[in-house]
A and B are shown apart, each in its own frame.
Chain A
Amino acid sequence: MKAAALESQAAPKGAGNGRRWAGNRISRFMPPFLATMVILVLWEAAISLFDVPRFILPRPSAAIALMFTDFGYFRPHIWITLQETVFGFVLAVALSVPTAVMIVSVSWLEKAFFPLLVWSQVVPKMALAPLFLIWLGFGISSKILMVLLLAFFPILLNAMIGLKSLEIEKRYLAQSIGASRLQMFWRIQLPAALPVMFAGLKVGVTLALIGAVVGEFVGAAKGLGRLLILANSNLDTALLFAAVGWLSILGVGLYLIIDAMERLSIPWHVSQRPQR
């Protein structure tokens, strides 16, 4: 599964306690930080060296400076995009996890609705964005709907895979102890599914942000996506990269929040174990 692959790539190594954890954090964040610095320096040097005009590619230093010196300008846009993403994502979780539980526990539901859900994924959702504008207007709700649509499926799919892939022996074990249906679900099936569910949440939160930006592309008064369109039409590449910079900070931040929740709720998960 794509989600599983992403999970294993993203799997943080080691979450012991105390010092070891802090040590792991540093060793986790240092390499990508250094790599980013190297790329930025090369980029900066290339622009000086080849005298690239501003409207083609800005100096990274200029874009980064703009990000922080003009924070007051970005703040309302960041805030809107963040709201759209978070509301849409929470809504997607609230709808897709119960749906997954239902689909997995009632076999005819899966037969009847799963093909429909897959089909709904094949439809290019961006094509629907103008329609959402007509239905819900230029405000935040049409973007939330787009976020929901993009984030719903990966979360649903991973929750389903997690719930369905319960080891048969674990089921046997619980049955031989006389577990009720509720005990089976809450004590066995759900905890066993959490690692795969979290993989879905990580994919979902990334897609949620993309959903918000796409929604704003089509028509919005505010938001980082709106800012991208604006910067593009003015050939203001520094502004464009500054907006992209803020978007990536949002994306990484949201991802790290899910990652932290994962560490807190399933510290036992194999990928979290300190390596020997």
Chain B
Amino acid sequence: MQDHDRAFLRLDSVSKTYKARASDVVALDRASLTIDRGEFVSLVGPSGCGKSTMLLAIAGLIDITSGAIVIGEREVAGPYTDLGMVFQKPVLLDWRSVEANVMLQSDLRKLDRRQQLERTDHLLGMVGLEAFAKHRPGELSGGMQQRVAICRAIVHNPPLLLMDEPFGALDAFTREQLNLDLQHIWMEGRPTVAFVTHSIEEAVMLSDRVVMMSPRPGRIIDVFPVDFPRPRDEHLRRSTEFSAMVARIRERFDDVGMPGVAMTDQAEVV
């Protein structure tokens, strides 16, 4: 199904075993996946199945035990920096203002300051935080902090976006709004996106493909193409086709022994 000229990111039988004192934990078990350039792929699976591990491995932040990860033409060995990343926690620097946190990209990468500052303010406005630009992260709620983290991940227009449950801590209303904003950003710059979520609706709403992982050790057990035309909006979310798609994915979860939405617990931060 994949056109190999367009393939951008390839996981080739990737395994990851964490060495722990009590016993080793196999977090990923021979996961193979190809993501096209500009494709939006969601990863769904129960808590602890290795989704975060997969993103960290793609970013080259942790070593994999076996297999290979190739981005573009290059095999990942060590931190891959041509990307934007949203971690499961906001990971803001407490000593920088909200604006300066987003500007961290520009500061460390030595980008054009004026242009980046403009884009920072534009993005903060988009997520409803323009009034908080000069505030410190400690003065923001968890959901607001995560929105800042999202701005920081996209401010430099990266060709690759790795997002680990970025909307997990947000209320439903903000979340749906940010889904639309993210789709907008994605359609504008067409980055390749690997997006972890515990919401099947969200995955279907945003993705070209939904990748389902098994409980630990994390294996890829199914891939669902989602062909709804874009831009997708609230009408689609309420349509029967959409519900049918969500139901189909949820049924597959039930089949493999993960009844209902046995997805990642929101409150849990792994």
Chain A interface (Cβ < 8 Å from any Cβ of B): 167, 169-170, 172-179, 183, 187-188, 191-192, 194, 266, 268-270, 273
Q: Is the CB of B93 within 8 A of A170?
A: yes
Q: Complex Cα distance A44/B79, Å?
A: 69
Assess whether B95 is in contact with A191, with CB atoms less than 8 Å apart. Answer: yes
- Look across to chain B and name the residue whose beta carbon is closest to the beta carbon of A184: B108
Give residues in B with beta carbon < 8 Å to A: 56, 59, 61, 79-81, 83, 85, 87, 89, 91, 93-95, 104-105, 107-109, 136, 138-139
Closest to B138 in A: A273
Query: In the complex, what's the smallest C-beta–C-beta distance from A205 to chain B, in angstroms?
Result: 23
Residues in chain A near residue B87, CB distance under 8 A: 169, 172-173
25 A-B residue pairings within 8 Å (CB atoms)? A169-B87, A169-B91, A170-B91, A170-B93, A172-B56, A172-B87, A172-B91, A175-B61, A176-B59, A176-B79, A176-B83, A176-B85, A177-B104, A177-B105, A177-B109, A178-B108, A187-B104, A187-B107, A188-B93, A192-B93, A192-B94, A268-B136, A269-B94, A270-B138, A273-B139
Most B CB atoms within 10 A — which of A176, A178, A266, A268? A176
Name the residue among B56, B91, B93, B95 with the largest chain A CB count within 10 angstroms.
B95
B87 CB to nearest A CB, Å: 5
Find out whether the CB atom of A175 lies under 8 angstroms from the CB atom of B79: yes
Minimal beta-carbon separation of B43 from chain A (angstroms): 18
Q: Which of A179, A191, A266, A270 contacts B108 (CB 8 A)?
A: A179
B108 touches A174 (CB 8 A): yes
State the CA gap A242–B97 with chains docked (Å): 48
Secondary structure at the A interface, as helix, strand, loop or mixed, is helix
With most chain A CB atoms within 10 A of its CB, the pick from B81, B89, B94, B109 is B94
Residue of A nearest to B105 (CB): A177
Q: Which residue of B lies closest to A167 (CB)?
A: B91
Given A176-B80, A268-B95, 4 more A-B residue pairs with CB atoms under 8 Å apart are A167-B91, A174-B108, A176-B85, A178-B109
Q: How far is the CB of B72 from chain A (nearest CB, A)?
A: 16
| B contact residues around A174 at 8 Å (CB) | 108
* Bound-state Cα–Cα, A170 to B90, Å: 10
Cβ contacts under 8 Å, A179 to chain B: 108
CA distance A175 to B85 in the complex (A): 11
